[in-house]
Amino acid sequence: MSAITGEILTFSQEKGPDVKLRVFGDEFYSRYENLDGYTVGYDIDLGRFCYAYLIKGEFFSSGVDLSCVPPAKIWRHLKESEQVRNAKFETKYAKMNPPVPAYRTYGPNKGLLEGRRLSEGNIKGLTIMVQFKDVKSTVTREDVDNMLNGGNYTENGNFCSAREYFQLMSGGKLDYTNEVVGPVTLSKNRQYYADHLLVEEALDLAIASGVNLKDFDSRNERIVDAINFLYAGQTQYIGELWPHNYFLDLERDNMKTHFYMLSSLGRSKEDLSIGTFCHETGHMLCRWPDKYDYGVRDGDFEKSSGLGYYSLMSAGNHNDSGRTPSPVGTYLRYLVGWCDNVVCLDKPGEYKAEHGDYKTALIFKSRKPNEFFLIENRSQLGLDKYIPSSGLAVYHCDILGSNEWQGGTPTKHYQCGLLQADGHLDLETNRNMGDEMDLYEETADTAISHDTLPSSNLWDGSESGLIISNISAPGQIVTFQVGTSIQAKPSMGEEEIPKHAELIKIIEDAQVKIDEGLEKLRAIA
């Protein structure tokens, strides 16, 4: 899934010129405004975007397209009711996900999404380049192959290839390569596929060209491990063209399809970036849940930012226009078993966090097996270059939580939340996707304990026992103290004792004088 929060994007119209719209939402539910703030929707009959009426909590086309002035009595920033939004979300989610109880992202599967997971080993995916009857791309098969499989790949400003990204995140445990085929040309114009999923037609065209699905079954289970569809042109954040990862139940040549991913190629190789591809692959292969808030799920209707720009599985896939996506984060790497070096912070002492050491998890376990804290060096280096803050990150984790629950109550709280150093809760209150005050910078004081803001208390309000102090400056290595903090002063040296005794004598003499003065005042009274 890939969320958009107010970005201005260009959309095509079947019977009109391209229009710029502000977009809010994801592939399950989205809302669009023109640049003047009026809510709009695509009118299939007219082939244009039109101003929207809000009738009984639901949008309907006014029949007036955006080349005209808004109709009378239409207000800016209209939103559908919670009930309508939730119903549309449920319908789309149920349609596009496997027939297992995958709706919840917490609890039953140890914090991961339900379904077939392929997070280790040599996995070979099939990537199908797709073009439309009316929209083509100059991106070549070689361009896509380099972006997905290349070594030391830095073209177009990308930090690495998709293969290198997952090798780095997994410590070499996942080697994900792709065979790139196509482009295949679909039978209809692009706008048609906003309402009609293109994947079956594109898959059949690829098979007709000679693709053998048996080449993409690493476990010999007659199941295709991964299929990616990359369509020509700019990303279309609308309908079935919104980048997504879904379940596809088809059978071809005695092979069954399973999860697939769909995104865009761009117009030319200058549009190629790895961010969204890696985000959707995280769902498809690793079964990572989104770390952002849908606003219509798990019984919660308020929007929040989740982990914002700090996680690939939140909004971090968009960092640097998708060319330098955020790392996955320790929490999700820990859940899929990529952290071979688990350092328990259960004993007082100095510890170090090395930037880019994705094999290591620094964990403080609480008395509750589902609830714990993770510490991570998120200095602005490498894949972290474009995150908003720099320093030591502290995450409060609970596999029974959900990043839909921003309330922070004992029963409704994030699955993985960043303890923002300024205590402002900007991510939870949807003020931003992260700012420069979120991470812990250099300090000799106690940075976090049971009585700081934010605190290290458990979600039920009780103390976890985690105390962090004496944090060094951001950099390749960040050191920090766990346990008894600097508030417990060391014993004085011999040379300090006379000074200490002298100070006590001064205080005692002053107190005697105060007492004598009070006695004289009482006598006068």
Q: What is the mean pLDDT of residues 364-391?
A: 97
Which tops the pLDDT comparison, 124 or 108?
124
Q: What pTM does this model have?
A: 0.80
* Cβ atoms within 10 Å of 271's Cβ, excluding its own: 18
105: region left, alpha or beta (phi > 0 left; psi from -120 to 50 alpha):
alpha
Q: What pLDDT is attached to residue 73?
A: 82
Q: Using only C-alpha atoms, what is the Rg of the chain?
A: 28
Asked if residue 34 has pLDDT above 90, the reply is: yes
Cα atoms in the Cβ-side hemisphere of radius 13 Å centred on 458: 16
Q: Tens digit of pLDDT for each residue in 5-18? A: 788 888 888 889 99
Q: What pLDDT is attached to residue 101?
A: 39
Cα 378 vs. chain centroid, distance in angstroms?
Answer: 15
How far is residue 26 from each of residues 84, 212, 236, 414, 463, measured CA to CA in Å?
Answer: 16, 33, 12, 19, 37
State how far the Cα of 108 lies from the Cα of 336, in Å rounded to an integer. 15
Ordered by start, the domain boundaries in the chain are 4-96, 121-286, 325-482, 496-524
State how far the Cα of 160 lies from the Cα of 150, in Å rounded to an integer. 8
DSSP H helices in 177-316: 199-208, 275-286
Q: What is the mean pLDDT of residues 381-390?
A: 98
State how far the Cα of 212 lies from the Cα of 231, in Å rounded to an integer. 21
H/E run at residue 524: helix 497-524
Q: Tens digit of pLDDT for each residue in 92-123? A: 766 655 554 333 444 446 789 888 999 999 99
Which tops the pLDDT comparison, 84 or 251?
251
In three-state secondary structure terms, 508 is helix
Q: What would the two tokens of residue 99 be? A: 């027939």
Q: What pLDDT is attached to residue 509?
A: 63
Cα 3 vs. chain centroid, distance in angstroms?
Answer: 9
Q: Tens digit of pLDDT for each residue in 257-305? A: 999 999 999 889 999 999 999 999 999 999 999 898 776 566 666 788 8
Angle, helices 162-170/275-286, rounded to nearest 10 degrees: 50
How far is residue 197 from each of residues 65, 93, 95, measured CA to CA in Å?
Answer: 25, 14, 12
State how far the Cα of 26 lies from the Cα of 29, in Å rounded to an integer. 6
Q: Tens digit of pLDDT for each residue in 467-484? A: 999 999 999 999 999 997
Q: What would the two tokens of residue 446 be? A: 């106690």
Which tops the pLDDT comparison, 487 or 37?
37
State how far the Cα of 55 lies from the Cα of 47, in Å rounded to an integer. 22
Which tops the pLDDT comparison, 30 or 358?
358
State how far the Cα of 118 lies from the Cα of 286, in Å rounded to an integer. 6
**Helices and strands of the chain, counted as H and E runs:** 7, 22
Q: What would the two tokens of residue 498 be? A: 């006379």
Q: What would the two tokens of residue 4 be? A: 């958009």
State how far the Cα of 43 lies from the Cα of 63, in Å rounded to an integer. 7
Q: What pLDDT is attached to residue 227?
A: 97
* Diameter over CA atoms, the chain: 110
State how far the Cα of 199 lies from the Cα of 179, in Å rounded to an integer. 17
Q: What pLDDT is attached to residue 521?
A: 54
Which tops the pLDDT comparison, 96 or 189?
189
Q: What is the mean pLDDT of residues 83-99?
A: 72
How far is residue 177 from each of residues 124, 125, 147, 148, 494, measured CA to CA in Å?
Answer: 5, 6, 11, 7, 67
Q: What would the two tokens of residue 179 be? A: 């065979």
Q: What pLDDT is attached to residue 2?
A: 62
Give which of 325, 245, 251, 254 is closest to 290, Cα–Cα: 245
Asked if residue 502 has pLDDT above 70, the reply is: no
Q: What pLDDT is attached to residue 104?
A: 43
Q: What pLDDT is attached to residue 490?
A: 45
Q: If you average pLDDT over every residue of the chain, what do you get?
A: 88
Residue 132: partners with Cβ closer than 8 Å, 6 or more residues away: 185, 186, 188, 189, 190, 193, 231, 232, 233
